[in-house]
Structure 1
């Protein structure tokens, strides 16, 4: 197979490395239903996966109207999510193997997330992988977050390269749009929401899990072949 000449690996956080999207989804739906919003909330919350929090707040206000109790929803969401995560920050299967393989290949790696800097720092700390990245890029670092390409362009620059010399691994359609627009070789490992046809067209591959991503990157001479 064709060798990919890769200088760095860029990794989404929620839903890709951390198994948090299910937590966010459950906490969001529960908060809305507690306040009496039931019709179509599951579909609405699915559509907000991979989108920065401030953009999702605008989506809720646009959907429900200006009298929507945003502060109450945010408060309930935070309480719900904290209760679920109290037992620990769950990792997606294959995360440690992926990080080990990237390090064995001598490639720098960065987190590229729509979360805030404080949230990313806390969640990576709870997952005990915060020390394993050369850079952590969040929505606080750019004026336009995903699905715009700015985060990926900045992440590549921080690692001393360009986005088209990077592999990006994402789980969401907005994330795929961001990485592809930046010019990165984009792999999608879907979490909750399946890839759209547009996302499939933007990906070098859509894979079932991170183990499959490791195997593909090994065939492309990006990562070492497993013994």
Structure 2
């Protein structure tokens, strides 16, 4: 698989949680522990799936309102980040085909970035712990932009830091809000749903490449073939 003569390798922007790594179990446990400290019990995995693809601040703001929690939002966010980082440093699984894809892209000279609703500390902890920090050095967290997904801000900021026109960028996303954000940013999207039930969400309809079966269907070779065919 080669890039045609004269074509510049397309910049590729990765979502982190649920796309590159299976960090959602860690986020679920972190959220559950924070809620429990404030007397909210019974937070289930099904409850958590409502917030996949949405930043931690937006998630906690909603939960704080729904459960009438008195603690300041910033305190809740700090508590959740601490709880998450403890788990993330201990174990975070990289999806094997995603690691292969990152390695393929890096070897071929594609500019790469991570744009995530996680805090910058969380992004750095996960990338460092998994070894992905060797290839993924341009990072944007939701803390650094005005609005989180589905607003396009985070992807537009990643494009700016890559010094790339948005229309030349490709985004990899697992959640409808992220796919919508990519579309609103004017970027092509490779969609790999993390939650099977979201595969029919209209937000995925604009994806240039769609793996409805999620990570069990995604392959680095298929994604790279699509990407390089678009460049030729």
- The TM-score range, normalised by the shorter chain, is 0.7 to 0.9
Match of 2:208 among 204, 207, 220: 204
> 2:125 and 2:83 mapped to 1: Cα distance?
17
- 2:201 is aligned with 1:179: no
What residue number does 2:123 align with?
120
What residue number does 1:57 align with?
60
TM-score, structure 1 length as denominator?
0.81
Residues 93 and 209 in structure 1, CA contact (< 8 A), matched pair in contact too = no
Helix, strand or coil: the match of 2:96?
coil
Q: What is the root-mean-square deviation of aligned Cα atoms in Å?
A: 3.0
Helix, strand or coil: the match of 1:14?
coil
Match of 2:100 among 78, 97, 101: 97
> 1:210 and 1:110 mapped to 2: Cα distance?
23
Residues 191 and 209 in structure 2, CA contact (< 8 A), matched pair in contact too = yes
- 2:173 is aligned with 1:170: yes
Residues 98 and 214 in structure 1, CA contact (< 8 A), matched pair in contact too = yes
Following superposition, the deviation at residue 151 of structure 1 comes to 1.1
Which deviates the most, 31-40 or 198-207?
Answer: 31-40
Residues 27 and 81 in structure 1, CA contact (< 8 A), matched pair in contact too = yes
Following superposition, the deviation at residue 136 of structure 1 comes to 0.9
Helix, strand or coil: the match of 1:191?
coil
> 1:66 and 1:35 mapped to 2: Cα distance?
7
Following TM superposition, where does structure 1 have runs of at least 4 consecutive aligned residues deviating by more than 6 angstroms? 68-73
Following superposition, the deviation at residue 7 of structure 1 comes to 2.1
> 1:56 and 1:183 mapped to 2: Cα distance?
26
Unmatched runs of 5 consecutive residues or more in structure 2? none
Following superposition, the deviation at residue 28 of structure 1 comes to 2.2
Count how many residue pairs are aligned between Structure 1 and Structure 2: 221
Unmatched runs of 5 consecutive residues or more in structure 1? none
> 2:163 and 2:79 mapped to 1: Cα distance?
41
Following superposition, the deviation at residue 220 of structure 1 comes to 2.6
- Alignment map for 1:144-163 (pairs within 5 Å): 144-163=147-166
What residue number does 1:214 align with?
220
- 2:197 is aligned with 1:191: no
Residues 40 and 67 in structure 2, CA contact (< 8 A), matched pair in contact too = no
